[in-house]
Structure 1
Amino acid sequence: MKLHELQPSPGSRKNRKRVGRGPGGTDKTAGRGHKGQKSRSGAGKGSFFEGGRSRLIARLPKRGFNNVGITFEIVKLSQLEAIEGETFGRSELEAYGLVRRKNRPVKLLATGEISRAVTVHVDAASAAAVKAIEAAGGKVILPEGTTPDTMGTEKAE
């Protein structure tokens, strides 16, 4: 037996019924009843259509507000402790795989401990992280006009 000789068993495959194609396609209304929106091609109103009145989601009261905020790339002290080097900027953090998304600012958090002096260039830092690095003899360099914890709340992923 060759590949071009393969075919399904007789009677195991059946052609689908092509409705609405003349007398062969169940004829006349083709199983759609008479007239109306649901008899037309492309018919349908969507699962949330409520007969023309306002949708439920539009009728319910809106509460609270959605604070978009800033989503940071998070770098922890324990991560800095694990890698070698004395100066860390965005390019070094990307090279070590600590920062993945290039369009997000980097924030340093005080999770873990650091025992050596390092210099870190980041967009934001928690006050505790700055304190821990300065206690170890290092320093944190932030953009001008930025103080620790003034860039909003972090959203770690």
Structure 2
Amino acid sequence: MFLNTIKTSDGATTQRKRVGRGIGSGNGKTAGRGHKGQKSRAGGYHKVGFEGGQMPLHRRLPKRGFNSLKSNKVASLRLHALVNISDSPITITTIKDNGLIPGGMKQVKLYLAINDSIRTKLDLEGIKVSKGVKREIEAAGGSVK
């Protein structure tokens, strides 16, 4: 093999299209731009989203800011986090006041960690709980409302 014998494989390279070079080239006369109109002119084009003067979709729709409609307002919390709270009954505001969840949360759900077991009596109001948490709280003499 010599350097002067190396060729590219068939179809690997194509010649560039030379537009506006006569009828025989297949791209003569209008040079592939069609007839008349803004897109056929030199320098004539419009921005992305332009709808011919009609109010564009991105301006027709209402502004929503950065508040996601899908955002989850339910905080997850492990059961052992509530052991140090002395208030009774424990509500969402109690949990927020103790700094266990952020202020923007609307609901709380308690889950059971692997080695979670409590001996203190807990009374919960307005808090979602898993089956395991409910079983643990009731075994310790507490209640879930």
Q: Shorter-chain-normalised TM-score: which range?
A: 0.3 to 0.5
Higher relative contact order (CA 8 A, sep 6+): 1
Which one has the largest radius of gyration?
2
Q: TM-score, normalised by structure 2?
A: 0.46
